[in-house]
């Protein structure tokens, strides 16, 4: 699935229930929705020849060679680019910071499903139990399972 396909999978009826919240530390620049979509907001930025207007739009998530099962986006602020996994942005905006010892868990183990209803902060152990329950991991002894190639939180 591509970022464009992910963003276009929702019907107009579903999008009427989409809720947008500011991305923490990027207020006025970016928002993330309960459906796991990210958008840049209308704003002016400094350019070499004065200020330039940036029109807000939905940002396509992308994957990397190392992490093909999770979408990330590049957010820019003050000339610096920051990379974020979309699932973390959703939880940061709607739930709050990640508690110590926790990680982002996808209830259905689909790293592309970044809807709030599919995400939670939980322990690595519980994340591994989810993988086993969903048939995506092998036990490696003492409750630890192999996490599939490119699967991270």
Structural domains in the chain, sorted by start: 3-145 (3.90.75.20)
Q: What pTM does this model have?
A: 0.80
The residue among 142, 138, 28 whose CA lies nearest residue 151 is: 138
pLDDT, tens digit, 9 for 90 and up, residues 49-102: 999 898 999 999 888 777 778 899 999 998 899 999 999 999 999 999 999 999
pLDDT at 84: 95
């Amino acid at each position: 699935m591509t970022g464009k396909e992910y963003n276009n999978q929702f019907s107009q009826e579903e999008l009427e229930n989409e809720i947008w919240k500011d991305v923490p530390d990027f207020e006025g620049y970016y928002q993330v929705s309960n459906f796991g979509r990210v958008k840049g907001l209308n704003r002016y930025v400094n350019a070499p020849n004065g200020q330039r207007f940036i029109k807000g739009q939905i940002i396509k998530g992308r994957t990397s060679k190392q992490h093909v099962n999770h979408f990330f986006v590049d957010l820019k602020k003050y000339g610096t680019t920051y990379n974020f996994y979309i699932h973390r942005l959703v939880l940061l905006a709607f739930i709050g910071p990640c508690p110590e010892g926790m990680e982002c868990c996808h209830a259905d183990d689909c790293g592309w499903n970044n809807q709030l209803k599919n995400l939670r902060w939980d322990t690595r152990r519980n994340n591994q139990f989810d993988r086993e329950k969903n048939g995506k991991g092998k036990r490696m002894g003492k409750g630890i399972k192999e996490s599939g190639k490119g699967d991270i939180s």
